[in-house]
Amino acid sequence: MSKVAQSGDIRLIPIERIEVLNTRERNQAAFDEIVENIKLIGLKKPITVTPRKGDDGAERYVLICGEGRLKAFFKLGETRIPALVVDVEEEDAHIMSLAENIARRKYMPLELLHGIKLLHEKGCEAPAICQKTGLSPEYVNTLLMLIILGEDRLLAAIQKGSIPITAARDIVSAGNDDKALQGVLQDAYESGQLRGRPLLEVRRLLQLRQTLGKSLARKSPRKRSGVTTTTLVRAYQKEVERQRMVVRKGSLTQQRLVLIVSAMRQLVSDDHFVTLLRAEGLDTMPAYLAERIYRAGSKK
């Protein structure tokens, strides 16, 4: 990567000759505020561009910084805009534009992931991305790890805001160890990172990740083979085994619930334990749980 020029000339250049490399979606209310500010007090800071020769031989420009100001000027009916013109190579212009978008204080998760992925594909290592964007090394390293490992499902969950990036990192570190994964979820619950619906969504995500893989790419459908008596028998046997597994899991779960309910009944029958719960403000429980616990015993 070449060294970027430290200074440039401020010129009034035609808007129609500016190309936007990395356009991004904008909040309409925020954009309207930019338009109104420029309309009232003018442009406080020029945009940044780099010159290029167009197909017609005339000079054109690639936008590095200031897409919002550029679009606001265009909406106000202006045909020219003040711009700081710096001389950088195409690769540098692309990376500078990406870094400028990511470094904004109010970025969308999708923009952040997409921008870091593009910077990585352009050859930027984690330290360089941190320096350009102002993001922490831990954050960038974790995102790059997820991108390199093809963890599309976890990245999509981070993008939606349904899972903290630290929990995603711990899930990857746990590998396929079910006990370790349950430990990660338990830690996330106890720390308050995952509670209620988000926790259920992450559990579902882990099931999909285990059965369908970590990538969201759809596999090409298999070519259907002819149905034979052998294939029918195999399919029947497989379904019977699956049903047996469901029954075994259900029976095991029921046994565990009976054990828990029995233990709870013994605990709530202990006056000292109940007094301790009341002292800690933990003397209430959901109605359905209380009904199951007190069904066979006397109520306190």
For position 7, what pLDDT does the model report? 54
Q: How many CB atoms lie within 10 A of CB 50?
A: 23
Tokens of 21: 């490399």
- The mean per-residue pLDDT over the stretch 25-38 comes to 80
For 167-207, how does the pLDDT look when each residue is reduced to its tens digit (9 = 90+)?
888 888 888 888 888 888 888 888 888 888 888 888 888 88
pLDDT higher than 50, residue 108:
no
pLDDT higher than 70, residue 258:
yes
pTM above 0.75, yes or no: no
More confident: 140 or 102: 140
For 59-78, how does the pLDDT look when each residue is reduced to its tens digit (9 = 90+)?
889 888 888 889 999 999 99
CATH architecture under which domain 9-132 falls = Alpha-Beta Complex (3.90)
The owner of tokens 């605990």 is: 267
pLDDT higher than 60, residue 1:
no
Give domain limits for the chain: 9-132, 149-212, 229-294
Cα dist from 157 to 19, 99, 146, 163, 246, whole Å: 33, 23, 12, 6, 28
For position 3, what pLDDT does the model report? 41
Mean pLDDT over all residues of the chain? 78
CA 103 to chain centre: 17
- The mean per-residue pLDDT over the stretch 272-277 comes to 85
Distance CA 183, CA 17 (A): 56
Distance CA 61, CA 17 (A): 6
**Do residues 147 and 116 make contact, with C-beta atoms less than 8 angstroms apart?**
yes
User: 15 falls in which pLDDT band (50, 70, 90)?
Assistant: very high
For position 292, what pLDDT does the model report? 73
Distance CA 171, CA 88 (A): 41
